[in-house]
């Protein structure tokens, strides 16, 4: 059920977005879709697809067969190039064709561990409540943190997921672009430019002067995405309302949930796991 279709064949024009859940996937999907398709869909258009459709539908996951109505993967060969597709799987589990197709590029977005943990924990509790499962009691944060620190997370331990893509981005910078949510939140434009250049769709000076970057950031803004009015019946296959994916969209919300001892535990663990890799988080 999880994992790309075994016969998935990457194209040289593909852009694959890789993230851990709750690390800004929807934001990255929206920024990438708007950037790469800006000739087909002008960013100033009142009919831009992002104004009416969830980025989860515009940039489908290569995994989760159950998300698609027929419980089988769509025929990705019918998609128009350039294809923008998404995965949550770790680097080592990616289809070989994604790794080996020379110009198929990968953008990885990660988030600082404490905020990512809080966002996942909150999301799981919100999902439980929304889906009316038999046991709607929220998972106590202590229990959730214990699991996280023991590497029991969706798609494997947090640190392994990051390190897999991080190492590839160092070895093959033309293949894997590694971004951090916090950096993008602080100063989104330079990162949007990097994303565009890396993907092979750099902004011209004229576009910059015309405000295309601002338009893309606007189309991808938290408020706009959260208030999309199209998914009353739920996004394809997820069976939940669009709003559930959006909570605060802030950096440092962990401070409202973790005790100093809990925060120190995560900091020490992550420091140890990432030691020597050159990958660091400051908050």
- For the annotated catalytic residues, the residue numbers are 88
Integer Cα distance of 199 and 177 in angstroms: 9
Least distance (Å) from ligand A3P to the CB of residue 253?
Answer: 5
# chain residues binding ligand A3P, by CB under 6 A: 21
Please give the distance of CA 3 from its chain centroid, rounded to a whole number.
16
Of residues 207 and 253, the one with the C-beta less far from ligand A3P: 253
Of residues 64 and 246, the one with the C-beta less far from ligand A3P: 246
22 binds ligand A3P (CB under 6 A): yes
Strands of 72-229 (E only): list them: 84-87, 105-110, 176-180
3-state secondary structure of 19: strand
Write out the binding residues for ligand A3P, residues 238-277 only, by CB under 6 A: 245-249, 253
3-state secondary structure of 61: strand
Integer Cα distance of 107 and 176 in angstroms: 6
List 16, 26, 228, 258, residue binding ligand A3P (CB under 6 A) = 26
List 225, 235, 258, 270, residue binding ligand A3P (CB under 6 A) = 225
Per-residue tokens: 40: 């087909």
222 binds ligand A3P (CB under 6 A): yes
List 2, 3, 13, 21, residue binding ligand A3P (CB under 6 A) = 21
Integer Cα distance of 232 and 219 in angstroms: 20
Write out the binding residues for ligand A3P, residues 122-161 only, by CB under 6 A: 122
Q: 3-state SS of the chain: helix, strand, coil percent to 5?
A: 45, 5, 45
236 binds ligand A3P (CB under 6 A): no
Burial of residue 237 (number of CB atoms within 10 Å: 0-12, 13-18, 19+): middle
Least distance (Å) from ligand A3P to the CB of residue 254?
Answer: 9
Of residues 181 and 203, the one with the C-beta less far from ligand A3P: 181
Stretch that binds ligand A3P, among 24-32, 44-52, 160-168, 268-276 (CB under 6 A): 24-32
3-state secondary structure of 112: coil
Summarize as ranges the residues that interact with ligand A3P (CB under 6 A). Answer: 19, 21-27, 115, 119, 122, 220-222, 225, 245-249, 253
């Amino acid at each position: 059920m999880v994992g790309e279709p075994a016969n998935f064949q990457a194209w040289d024009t593909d852009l694959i977005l890789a993230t851990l859940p709750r690390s800004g996937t929807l934001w990255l999907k929206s920024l990438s879709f708007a950037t790469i398709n800006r000739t087909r869909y002008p960013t100033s258009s009142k009919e831009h697809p992002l104004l009416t459709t969830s980025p989860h539908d515009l940039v489908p996951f290569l995994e989760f067969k159950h998300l698609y109505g027929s419980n089988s993967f769509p025929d990705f060969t019918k998609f128009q190039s350039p294809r923008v597709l998404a995965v949550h799987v770790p680097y080592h589990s990616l289809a070989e064709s994604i790794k080996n197709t020379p110009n198929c590029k990968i953008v990885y977005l990660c988030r600082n561990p404490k905020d990512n943990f809080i966002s996942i924990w909150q999301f799981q509790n919100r999902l439980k409540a929304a889906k009316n499962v038999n046991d709607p009691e929220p998972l106590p944060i202590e229990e959730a943190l214990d699991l996280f620190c023991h590497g029991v997370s969706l798609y494997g331990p947090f640190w392994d997921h990051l390190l897999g893509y991080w190492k590839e981005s160092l070895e093959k910078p033309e293949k894997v672009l590694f971004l951090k949510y916090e950096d993008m939140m602080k100063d989104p434009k330079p990162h949007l430019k990097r994303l565009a250049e890396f993907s092979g769709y750099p902004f011209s000076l004229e576009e910059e002067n015309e405000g295309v970057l601002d338009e893309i950031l606007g189309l991808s803004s938290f408020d706009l995405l959260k208030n999309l009015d199209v998914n009353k019946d739920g996004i394809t296959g997820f069976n939940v309302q669009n709003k559930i994916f959006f909570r605060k969209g802030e950096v440092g919300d962990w401070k409202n949930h973790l005790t100093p001892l809990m925060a120190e535990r995560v900091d020490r663990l992550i420091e140890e796991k990432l030691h020597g890799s050159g990958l660091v988080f400051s908050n």
